[in-house]
Structure formats: structure tokens, C-alpha cells
Amino acid sequence: MQPRIQEQCVAGGIKGTILLAREGINGTVAGQPAAIDKLVAFLRALPGCAELDVKYSHAKEMPFYRMKVRLKKEIVTLGVDGIDPKREVGTYVQPEDWNALIADPDTVLIDTRNDYEVAIGTFEGAVDPRTKSFSEFPEWFRAHREELAAGKTKFAMFCTGGIRCEKSTAFLKAEGIDEVYHLEGGILRYLENIPEAQSKWQGECFVFDERVSVTHGLELGEMELCHACRRPISQNDKASAQFIEGVSCPACFAERSEEDRARFAERQRQIALAKKRGKPHIGVNPRADD
């Protein structure tokens, strides 16, 4: 299946990443509308993929450098055996009903994304687990379960596109939590469907491509990417003395050795040369959605 999907994408000039695992298929790709329609039809014709959920957005430029179809043990790595969203999962909540749920005083609202994602935007009143990767979530929940559940009966969870919160709600159900909910289609569908005047979203939403972030209506956000650590950076970050394009930012400056900085500086020089020649520099590796 992997080579067939890769061939279909390359033939259509499509770029991005598709992940394949026993539990399903996930990915983000970009291409011309006709090529995307053809790919979606191809994927939905695969065994078990007839009801594949597809979300659409638009970009003025190609947001990916290459096309990759990767095999993984899990689509997103939770690291807990036996968790299967197809067997047991939380209750799906449509974007139009989300505000009422999270306004309920009996609801605990948890952001299941990583710390660098939460830092640039989240829902009003959401708990930030401050995880570096999704695989840290189970340990965090078990450590904080009692304080989270104090006086609360409902757990509502959300993520970028709906995959991580599907898995996290399945995990909570396995842990014995009865009332578990998650935002269907994730933050992206909420931002697409809910007018800004009615929105409970604050900030921008990090996305795993060269757009870096989006806002209401899925408009392009203002965040950029540090190409040394792949974290989002603001204009204030770029004004810092610790920011050197392609070499470091305030978030990663202390993490890097002089050897690292020299290597990144050379890579940045090569990127600048490629840009000057009008060619893409394919050495830039996108951060994986974990």
C-alpha cells in the first residue's frame, strides 16, 4: 500500500506527509484541486477507508518540500497498549456545540497538544499539560487525575485536527472516566466554522507545515518557524539577541552548542544560496506531529 500511495501522490505533483499504521491513516498534503480530489478518491477506495474524514484548507504557496509516505506503529504515539479509538472513544462534539460544553462548570478542558503548540494559542480556560510529546500524556494524566476531577464530572479534550484527542479520550475511557468528550475535527474545524465574534479560541493554531500557524477562517497567522528547533517564533522572538535566522531562537539558544550553531549557520547559508538561485532547499525537515 505504501508504494501505491507514494506513486499516486508523486504522479499528481502532491507533496506532504501521509502516515500509515494498523490503526488507520492520517496525513497532510497539498496540491492542485484536481490532483487532491483524485488522491482522496484513491484513498477512499482502499480497504477500510471508505469513510475517510478529509479537511480542506487553502495556501497561496506549496507548504511542503517533499512527499513522504511513512509506516508507523501508531499514527500518533501514545505508548499505551490496547488503546483503540475504533473500539471505544469519547463522545464527538461538533464545533457549534463546543462553546456550551466548555462553559459548563462541570467540565475539565484539556489541551492534548505539546507545549510549543499551546504556547501560541489555546481555548479559554484550558489546562496545559506542558508535555514535550504526546507519549508523555498518560503519565501526566495519572499524576494529576485527582486534582483534575475534583468537583468535575466531564472531561473535554481537543487537538489540532482531532487525531490526538481521539486517542486521549480512548485512554481516559480505559482509565475508567465515564463522561469524556472531544472536539470533532479539532481546532482547525472549529476555526473554520465558528465566527471570531463567537469564538472561545485565543491566539493562533500551530500547523505542521510551512504556514506555521493559522487563525480564524484558517487565515495565515503571524508566527514563523525557527529552522534550528522547528518551534514557532513571534516577531518579539525575532527581536531577541538570541535569535539568529536558521541558527537559534530564545527557546533553543541554551540547548545548542557552538558546534551546533556552526552547523546550522552553514545550513542557513546553503538555504540562502538555494533561494537566490530560485531552487528549494530540501534539507529542511518538517517537525513531526507527535
Q: What is the DSSP string of 95-127?
A: HHHHHHHHHSTTEEEEE-S-HHHHTTEEETT-B
d(CA 88, CA 21): 18
Query: What would the grid cell of residue 191 be?
Result: 476555526
CB-CB neighbours of 186 under 10 Å: 23
Give, as one character, the DSSP assignment of residue 133.
S
Helix (H) and strand (E) counts for the chain? 9, 13
Tell me which residue has cell 538555494: 274
Task: Name the catalytic one among 159, 229, 249, 252.
Answer: 159
Q: Is the dihedral of CA 142, 143, 148, 151 positive or negative?
A: positive
Helix (H) or strand (E) holding 267: helix 258-276
229 noted as active-site residue? no
Q: Is 174 exposed, middle or buried (0-12, 13-18, 19+ CB in 10 A)?
A: middle
3-state secondary structure 203-226: ECEECCCCCCEECHHHCECCCEEC
Catalytic residues: 159
